[in-house]
């Protein structure tokens, strides 16, 4: 029976002539028809690829480690030191599509997207071979072609060093992605043998990032620059972050290279490329890499080194503070996924359910990690939790408002508190004072607020009882909220009854619950423009929670009435609040509502009667203070702005007054 498959009977010359009319892709397909075609047309395939600038054959061969094909295309003139388009990762394609839909444009043209991505994603053959760990291919490129070891590549990894961008936005995030040298690509993909080969061949370990101002950087096509500016790194105006090989190794958790650099090459474990930059320890904490953190600490990394983001002004005093700030970030999400439409709406709430990392836990659990000796304290060793809570309060961090610590404290508080208790030694600051101060400060954290469940766990772990009577220092900076974040001038707010001195004549007593309410009220913000409208409402929630747990806004006989939380609140309003904070402020209505709610919570808890219901004198003093305060900030005169909000706030306050209080109130209003 004869075969039904036709024989190819044309002479080779005819097929070679046909090749002149085929593009490189069709010619490559023809060469795969038979062994004969493959042998006869092989040269034509490579020549056509060079003629049509078909870069796929180069990039694919380098990426897969197909050294034979790479050698053949190189013999036909392919440049092994050239930057070629690289395949865009799927998350970039998804983000790119989302960005265009967000801008309400028509669905982007598929071909246009591919061209735009090819401009943004690029690499040399050395990058691609290093990423795949193809040692022989890398060796051949180094030996035969003397390729440049410091050329840039983009989007071959998802590494975003700390400090790359101030506030990532959906339009600019693509610009912020750095370009990397082959050494970084090998390190972050854990190709240890290739990384060592590159280091031994002279690759710079001092800098593995390439700025877009470098002459080695490819120029972005101006047409696509205007159409797809979100991908163009030349438009990025954030800080240019220089990264070392050790920082890359810490970020990616490449322990063999960390050891190679520090132990064999003598690199400082705290190496920074720029002054005040992030040390390798900060890089490891950014991605919550516990193993890298532990290794760097064993190699001598200092967690007390500070870190300042250049040109942004965000400052971290130490790695402990940074570790808490990073607890609000999920390291499993790359930077583009982090700001996709699913999570961009509320970054703080988004991370609330992310499990705490062991990297931050490791730092605090190290021997001595929970206690330290800050400068200016004359050798006094204090708890790190106290300073972390001070830093978490809005009055401190609103200047650097991209780094709130409260979300991290919500996750880590019980663990840090356990470490604080376990690591305490007799020559440290008194433990009971430190813990009580920490609780009072925690009650003042309002944006992002510490959750009441966190405060509850604090009480449980510390065994603090809100009804416990303690001795009070009236001049406490913690309670008055007139503190200095430098611990050198900060006094403890309380002494326990065990530490009371018999010769201290001015001491008085009160309950811990009353102190906590006073501290909470003292943190109430009267500013006309708040970073978060809910910050004062968070304090209201704290006050309400404290009362439900047994705290009372009443004071014990003999104590100065200014310690009554409600009376103190009214006096503070009268003496310090701007008279226009409600009537002329952008958020005046919100402030009026929060003010009324705080008065309601404290009043319903017994605050109208600081010394009990039988003492009408102190009750009247409280009502008079309320009348004076509300007259100042919630005026009833006609024609005022926020009139409805003011009327509603006054109604809320009056509706919760007990009969005796309301009667006294009406007598003052006549």
Q: What is the pLDDT of residues 196-213, one digit of tens each?
A: 999 999 999 999 999 888
This prediction has a pTM of 0.81
What are residue 495's phi and psi, to 5 degrees? -125, 140
DSSP-assigned beta bridge partners for residue 183: none
In a domain, 595, yes or no: yes
CA–CA separation, 334 and 156 (whole Å): 13
Between 272 and 584, the more confident residue is 272
Tally of CA atoms within 13 A in the half-sphere of 348 that contains its CB: 15
In a domain, 332, yes or no: no
Which among 171, 167, 194, 168 has a CA at the least distance from the CA of 183? 194
In a domain, 520, yes or no: no
pLDDT at 501: 39
In a domain, 376, yes or no: no
Segment (H or E) for 515: helix 512-522
Rg, C-alpha atoms of the chain: 33
- Residue 26: pLDDT band by 50, 70, 90 thresholds? low
Highest mean pLDDT among 60-69, 182-191, 348-357, 380-389: 182-191
Which of 35-44, 238-247, 258-267 comes out lowest in average pLDDT?
35-44
pLDDT at 10: 55
pLDDT at 416: 94
Q: How many CB atoms are closer than 10 A to CB 579? A: 11
Between 123 and 480, the more confident residue is 123
Residue 601 pLDDT > 70? yes
In a domain, 48, yes or no: no
Q: Could you tell me if 553 and 547 are in contact, meaning their C-beta atoms sit under 8 angstroms apart?
A: yes
**What would the mean pLDDT of 372-387 be, rounded to a whole number?**
85
Highest mean pLDDT among 103-117, 399-413, 484-498: 399-413
In a domain, 24, yes or no: no
Three-state secondary structure call for residue 383:
strand
Helix 135-145 vs helix 67-75: angle between axes, to the nearest 10 degrees? 20
Q: Tell me how many domains the chain contains.
A: 1
In a domain, 568, yes or no: yes
Q: Could you tell me if 187 and 257 are in contact, meaning their C-beta atoms sit under 8 angstroms apart?
A: yes
In a domain, 483, yes or no: no
Q: What percent of the chain has pLDDT over 70?
A: 71
Domain of residue 608 covers: 553-670
Using alpha carbons, list the distances in angstroms from residue 88 to 91, 110, 134, 154.
8, 13, 21, 9
Residue 261 pLDDT > 50? yes
- Residue 544: pLDDT band by 50, 70, 90 thresholds? very high
The secondary structure of residue 398, as a DSSP letter, is: G
What is the residue-averaged pLDDT of the chain?
79
Residue 5 pLDDT > 50? no
């Amino acid at each position: 029976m004869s075969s039904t498959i036709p024989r190819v009977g044309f002479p080779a010359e005819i097929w070679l002539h046909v090749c002149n009319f085929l593009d490189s892709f069709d010619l490559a397909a023809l060469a795969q028809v038979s062994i004969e075609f493959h042998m006869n047309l092989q040269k034509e395939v490579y020549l056509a690829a060079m003629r049509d600038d078909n870069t796929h054959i180069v990039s694919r061969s380098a990426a897969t480690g197909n050294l034979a094909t790479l050698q053949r295309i190189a013999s036909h003139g392919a440049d092994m030191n050239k930057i070629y388009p690289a395949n865009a990762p799927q998350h970039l394609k998804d983000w790119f599509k989302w960005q265009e839909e967000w801008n309400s444009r028509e669905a982007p043209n598929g071909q246009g997207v591919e061209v735009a991505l090819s401009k943004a994603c690029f690499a040399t053959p050395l990058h691609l071979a290093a990423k795949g760990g193809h040692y022989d291919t890398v060796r051949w490129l180094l030996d035969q072609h003397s390729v440049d070891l410091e050329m840039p590549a983009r989007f071959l990894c998802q590494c975003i060093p700390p400090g790359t961008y101030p506030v990532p936005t959906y339009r600019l995030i693509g610009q912020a992605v750095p370009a990397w040298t082959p050494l970084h690509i090998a390190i972050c993909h854990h190709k240890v043998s290739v990384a060592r080969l590159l280091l031994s061949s002279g690759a710079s370990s001092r800098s593995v990032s390439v700025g877009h101002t470098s002459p080695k950087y490819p120029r972005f096509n101006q047409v696509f620059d205007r159409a797809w500016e979100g991908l163009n790194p030349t438009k990025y105006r954030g800080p240019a972050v220089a990264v070392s090989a050790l920082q890359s190794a810490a970020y990616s958790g490449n322990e063999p290279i960390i050891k190679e650099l520090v132990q064999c090459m003598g690199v400082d474990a705290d190496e920074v490329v720029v002054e005040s930059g992030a040390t390798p320890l900060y890089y490891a904490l950014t991605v919550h890499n516990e193993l890298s953190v532990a290794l760097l600490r064993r190699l001598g990394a200092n967690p007390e080194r500070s870190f300042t983001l250049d040109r942004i002004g965000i400052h971290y005093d130490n790695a402990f503070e940074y570790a808490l700030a990073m607890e609000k970030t999920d390291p499993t999400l790359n930077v583009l996924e982090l700001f996709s439409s699913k999570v961009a709406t509320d970054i703080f709430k988004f991370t609330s359910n992310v499990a705490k990392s062991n990297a931050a836990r490791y730092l605090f659990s190290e021997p001595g990690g929970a206690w330290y000796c800050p400068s200016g304290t004359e050798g006094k060793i204090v708890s790190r939790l106290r300073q972390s809570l001070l830093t978490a309060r809005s009055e401190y961090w609103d200047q650097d408002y991209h780094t709130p610590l409260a979300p991290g404290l919500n996750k880590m508080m019980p663990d840090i508190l356990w470490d604080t208790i376990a690591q305490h030694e007799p020559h440290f600051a008194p433990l009971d004072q430190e813990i009580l101060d920490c609780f009072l400060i925690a009650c003042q954290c309002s944006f992002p607020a510490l959750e009441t469940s966190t405060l509850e766990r604090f009480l449980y772990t510390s065994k603090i009882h809100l009804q416990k009577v303690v001795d009070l220092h009236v001049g406490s900076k913690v309670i008055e909220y007139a503190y200095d974040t430098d611990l050198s001038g900060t006094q403890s707010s309380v002494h326990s009854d065990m530490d009371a001195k018999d010769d201290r004549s001015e001491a008085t007593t009160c309950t811990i619950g009353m102190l906590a309410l006073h501290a909470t009220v003292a943190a109430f913000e009267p500013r006309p423009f708040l970073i978060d409208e809910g910050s004062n409402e968070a304090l209201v929630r704290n006050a309400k929670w404290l009362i439900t747990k047994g705290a009372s806004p009443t004071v014990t006989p003999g104590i100065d009435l200014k310690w009554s939380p409600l009376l103190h609140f009214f006096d503070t309003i009268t003496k310090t609040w701007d008279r226009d904070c409600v009537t002329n402020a952008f958020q005046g209505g919100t402030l009026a509502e929060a003010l009324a709610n705080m008065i309601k919570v404290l009043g319903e808890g017994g605050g109208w009667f600081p010394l009990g219901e039988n003492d009408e004198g102190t009750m009247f003093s409280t009502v008079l203070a309320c009348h004076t305060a509300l007259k100042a900030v919630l005026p009833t005169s006609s024609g005022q702005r926020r009139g409805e909000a003011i009327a509603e706030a006054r109604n809320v306050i009056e509706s919760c007054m007990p009969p005796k209080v309301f009667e006294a109130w009406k007598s003052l209003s006549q």
